[in-house]
Chains A and B, each alone.
Chain A
């Protein structure tokens, strides 16, 4: 027991037989010491968890009203919008919940990139995070197919066709994925089954992610390990309170979109029922896929385009071994910090290009941005050898109490390596 003290006899009785209270206390309570200097960028992990819970709750309610059949799917969604009690609210929360999940997770990822959270000994924690991202993308893609609108159908067609780029067995794989010779009822059925299943797989991956997190605890903005108890504070009440504040801000923004601009992230074409014989003029994926779509289209060869698109995510798996600098936080890496912002800008440019037709200037910018995306990883590999980091503070407590990162010259970079 982690010093769990209570006079409640019922809790004591349960705790003796199933130590769940001390388990929770160690996980998210006063028994979990956390660096005292976490800033608001550390709120986004718990926000991602909240978004997942919101999505699963609304999703289960929607599943009770939805019909996964090509003839009925579109109408059953319209019925949810018009006839089901609060159906419009459930659907708008679920729809925009997906977008907010990605917003929160992308911020969470870039936080990790800026502060070097992926470095030893947290490589597996990072890798599990990338696995969660891939699962999220698969889940989101299949969910988008379910309303069976024009974008649902043609998005499913284009994305499943990516697998046809695989030499020799590609066509058989696509037929297998479809359960037919085009996206049709069997495809819709299995996507529905998998869209229901995958969130639970995500929950499993999240449990592993948190388990790995608790092995060494959160990293922190300084990127140095805590020297002792004076560098840490209990998770509860300090970070439960801070996370709760973040939840409040998140819910305000989320409600603003759900109630005042519920279709902001959507495509109007998806309110037209799917028609296998007529393609919309511009097929655009959901916003959170746009950078990958831009990479796919930047490369004129179909197979290489698909390889580059998947490679843009898979390269994150080996990031802990590409960036070899012993200093974690960009705070003490003046050159890396600049490249971080260039990389972030590059990803936003890719997202913008992904929404545009691949012609003229958009194609050229898309190709340059794609090339830079991969070049970035080479740059930070070289940087980890040539960059001279600033001196690190000798402890979290010292930096916090002095109110800055300035440290005596004795605490040189590399000391923690």
Chain B
């Protein structure tokens, strides 16, 4: 503070100087942040990864009661063409008693087609139940062998450590037998 030696102007001088310091530092910080952002953002998903962020599935070959797995964004998607018994079983449950209450109607767009992300909501394992002979758990849906989570025919958690129902990806039916995920 060289100018503060002059007592009459010290107040004014210091205020102006403080402002200049703050403005310079603030501008420098802002400029640094703007310069650093591209570095950080370069680690976000790139254009070619985003381009693969949707998946189309032809549902025509799938028979009633059959389950298939497709890949969307590197994650397994379980598609289940449910039988009437499976739908009835899922709708017969009292919703309030579930660990993660959700009605079956809220989990499907068409009752016959259940579409879910096939990743256990506990620690990210892939539940069993997609292929014939797999254990399907106590509720006829899916069973995660890692830590024993049981999912029902609507993919809802019924027993075990998982906190949530299997997640539903964004999807739509572009035709009667054409599914668009993403």
Contact = CB atoms under 8 A, between A and B. Distances in A.
A183 B123 CA distance: 14
29 contacts: A154-B124, A154-B125, A157-B124, A161-B123, A175-B44, A176-B43, A176-B44, A177-B43, A179-B49, A180-B45, A181-B45, A181-B53, A182-B73, A183-B74, A184-B74, A186-B45, A186-B46, A186-B49, A190-B43, A276-B71, A276-B76, A277-B71, A277-B126, A278-B126, A279-B145, A281-B145, A281-B146, A283-B125, A359-B148
Given A277-B69, A278-B126, A182 B45 contact: no
A362 to B, nearest CB: 11
Contacts of B46: 179, 186
Interface residues of A, number: 28
Interface string A7-24: 000000000000000000
A279 B75 contact: no
A180 B73 contact: yes
B-side interface size class: 20 to 34
A376 to B, nearest CB: 27
A236 B75 CA distance: 59
A178 B44 CA distance: 8
B147 interface: yes
Interface string B131-153: 00000000000000111100000
Interface string B55-85: 0000000000000010101111000000000
Given A180-B74, A184-B74, A277-B69, A283 B45 contact: no
A103 interface: no
B124 A161 contact: yes
B126 A279 contact: yes
Given A161-B124, A176-B44, A186-B49, 13 more contacts: A158-B124, A177-B43, A180-B45, A181-B53, A184-B49, A186-B45, A186-B46, A277-B69, A277-B126, A279-B124, A279-B125, A279-B146, A283-B123
A359 B74 contact: no
B173 to A, nearest CB: 22
Contacts of B69: 277
Contacts, number: 67
Given A182-B74, A281-B145, A358 B161 contact: yes
Interface string B20-54: 00000000000000000000100111100100010
A71 to B, nearest CB: 14
Contacts of B161: 300, 358
A282 interface: yes
Interface of A: 154, 157-158, 161, 175-184, 186, 190, 276-279, 281-283, 300, 302, 357-359
B19 to A, nearest CB: 34
Contacts of B124: 154, 157-158, 161, 279
Contacts of B123: 158, 161, 283
Contacts of A190: 43
Contacts of A283: 123, 125, 146
A176 B37 CA distance: 13
B101 interface: no
Interface in B102-135: 123-126
B163 interface: yes
B43 A181 contact: no
Contact of A182 (B43, B75, B147, B163): B75
Contacts of A177: 43
A178, A277, A300: residue with the most chain B Cβ atoms closer than 10 Å: A277
B49 A180 contact: yes
Question: Which 6 residue pairs are nearest across A and B when measured between Cβ atoms?
Answer: A182-B74, A181-B73, A279-B125, A279-B126, A180-B49, A180-B45
Given A186-B49, A279-B125, A359-B148, A181 B74 contact: yes
A214 B43 CA distance: 40
A30 B151 CA distance: 69
Contacts of A276: 71, 74-76
Contacts of A277: 69, 71, 76, 126
Contacts of A175: 44-45
